Every structure is written in C-alpha cells, then in structure tokens.
Amino acid sequence: MKPRIAKWDNLKLFLIFCVVAGHFLARIDENRTAQRLFFFIYLFHMPAFMFVSGLMSTRSINGRRYAKICDFLAAFLLTKLVLLLVKGVFAHDYSAIRLWEMNDISWYIFALFVYYFVTMIIGKLPAMLMIGITIAMACIAGYSSHIATFLSLSRLICFYPFFLAGYHLDSDFIRYHTIGKPIKILSVLYVAVAACFTVFRIDHVWWLTRLLRAKYPYASFAQFQRAGGLLRLGWYAGSALFIVSLICFVSDAETPLTKLGSRTLTVYVLHYIPLYLFYYMVNAKEWLPGMPGSAWIALAAALVTTLVLSWRPFTTLVNLWITLPEKAAERFHRS
C-alpha cells in the first residue's frame, strides 16, 4: 500500500478547519471581522477541497472500486440523519428529510458520490478537453434560474472541474513544481493582495459571496447578470491560483496533527452537532454577536470542534456506518 503523503494530510486538515470555521462564522456574519474571515475562507476552501478530493480519488476511480461510491452514499445518508436530528431538536427545522433538496452540508458528500461515478465513465477522455467542457458548462449553467439546490445541481456542475483537475494531475508532479522559491514568493503576493481586498474593501466585494457559494443563478447578481459567465470564469482562474498558493504554503513535514488529515470525512459529517450545541443549547446565537472578539471566539470554537471530532473513536463510529453497504454486499456474495 502506498504510504500517505504528509503534505496532503496537512492540507486536508487545514481545509476541514476552514469548512467548519466558515459554518461557525456564518451564524454571526453581521459582525465585520466575521464577514472578512468568512469571505476570505470562501475564496478558496471548497475549490481546494474538491481539488484535493480529486487528487485522492485516482486509485479508487481507476481501480473501479464501486464500493467506494457506496461508502459516499452511506456517508450522505448519515449526514442527512445528523442534520435532521440536530436541526429538528434545536431549530425545529425538518428540511433535511428532503433528500433531494441539498441546501445544506450534505451536498459535498453527494457530490463526491456523483463525481466518482461520472469520472469512472469519462476519466479516460482527454483531460484538457473535458476540463474545458466542464468549465464551459458551469459558466453557461448560471444563466438558468432552474439549476439551483435541487440535487445540488448548481454546485455539482460548478465544482466538478476542480475535482476533475485533481483527478488528472499527479501529486508528485504538483509537489515538485511548488517547491521553488519564485512560485512561493508569487503565492505570498497573490494571497496578500486577496487578503487586503478582503480587509479593506469588504463592503465592495461582499456581494461576491453569491458567486463563491456556487449555488445562485446570475439573476441574483444585480447589475452583473449578463457578465455572470465571465465572473465565474474569473472565479475558476482565481481559485486555481489560490490552490497553487495553498500547496506552496503547506508543509511536507509530518507533525503530531498530520494524521488527523485522514479523518476529515468524520469531521464533516458530525460538525453540525457541536455547532448547534454552541449556537442553540449554549445560546451563543444571542450573546456572541455583541461580544468583543466574537469572530475569534467562533474561530476558536471551530478549531476545538475540528480537533475533537478528529479523535479516533468518532472516526471508528462513522466508518462502522459508512462500510455497512460494503459489508452487506460481501455477505451476500459469500452466501
């Protein structure tokens, strides 16, 4: 079995923290600092997560490991169950019962289920051609108001090029071409410029969150409706530069936390439990927004959530559920 590479686990751990942080910050987005942190995270976290997911998918897709697809379907159902329980108990919101409507965190795992299946079919076609076609489809899709959260179609279409690019690129090739000093300097400059825009021009760029979330049609972009396709194309270019920058920044060295990067699915599936406990049971939704440093408290809560849910017993419990279909299939074949 090929050994795990520390860089990718380090990157995955950072990205899952960004996912959790984004959801914690979204509850207090009236706060200026929270808005800045939220916007900056959304500039890169899901495109990068999808890219790394594609990068890690090569062996399963090329090996036609259909059991892996079933694992994602089981993880999707578990996520919906978790959402149904926590939203029902704390917010009396039972929308998670609608499996086909994915205006919640379950969309990402459903997307992986779809992406693995689709890439098994088209993965052998010319890489640049297919990436170009999928980007064009995403740019065109935004002009339709009917492609939205039903089956998470908008996000499925928009994020697939990142996954497909990750699938086609070789991880060793990426690591080799991101160790040079010039590319690291350019990466620092690019991220610094993006951070400056976020900090000093948040009022002017906040509307772009609708573009970054990839679930809204261009009709919601006010005066930029007609230019929606170009904006989305610019988003792909900017996100690609951010992904390269993140890979440059993340260390190749193994640390005590590196192994937690292999448990990101568990964190993703379960993190709404501590989030709802924090905002509804502890009632942080009422008292946190008015506190000094509230955005940093939310960020700290997200960090604790990420680290705690990366604890091995949680991973064991989630894996028991996820592998149920695979084990059932094995028993059926034996019998």
Q: Output the six-digit token pair for 306.
A: 């990420």
Q: In which residue are the tokens 């980007």 written?
A: 135
* pLDDT > 80? residue 325: no
In this prediction, residue 324 carries a pLDDT of 75
In this prediction, residue 157 carries a pLDDT of 95
In this prediction, residue 31 carries a pLDDT of 85
* pLDDT > 70? residue 333: no
Q: Which of 154-168, 175-189, 268-282 has the highest mean pLDDT?
A: 154-168
In this prediction, residue 310 carries a pLDDT of 95
In this prediction, residue 326 carries a pLDDT of 65
- The pTM of this model reads 0.92
Tell me which residue of 326, 321, 331 sits closest to 78, measured CA to CA.
321
In this prediction, residue 213 carries a pLDDT of 93
Q: What is the mean pLDDT of residues 301-310?
A: 96
pLDDT digits (tens, 9 = 90+) for 166-203: 999 998 889 888 888 899 999 999 999 999 999 999 99
Phi, psi of 250 (to 5 degrees): -70, 135
Report how far residue 175's alpha carbon sits from residue 9's, in angstroms, rounded to the nearest whole number: 13
In this prediction, residue 68 carries a pLDDT of 80
* pLDDT > 80? residue 334: no
Secondary structure class of 27 (helix, strand, coil): coil
Question: Counting every residue, how long is the chain?
Answer: 335
In this prediction, residue 328 carries a pLDDT of 63
Q: What is the mean pLDDT of residues 149-167?
A: 92
pLDDT digits (tens, 9 = 90+) for 197-253: 999 999 998 989 999 999 899 988 877 788 899 999 999 999 999 999 999 999 888
End-to-end Cα separation, the chain, in angstroms: 29
pLDDT digits (tens, 9 = 90+) for 84-93: 888 888 877 7
pLDDT digits (tens, 9 = 90+) for 169-178: 998 889 888 8
Long-range contacts of the stretch 166-169 (C-beta < 8 A, 24+): 166/50, 166/51, 166/52, 166/53, 166/54, 166/55, 166/56, 166/57, 167/54, 167/55, 167/57, 167/58, 167/61, 167/119, 167/123, 168/54, 168/127, 168/131, 169/55
CA-based torsion, 69, 71, 74, 75: positive or negative: negative
DSSP 101: B
In this prediction, residue 250 carries a pLDDT of 92
* pLDDT > 90? residue 332: no
Contact yes or no for 308/31 (Cβ under 8 A) = no
Tell me which residue of 258, 220, 225, 295 sits closest to 12, measured CA to CA.
258
In this prediction, residue 149 carries a pLDDT of 67
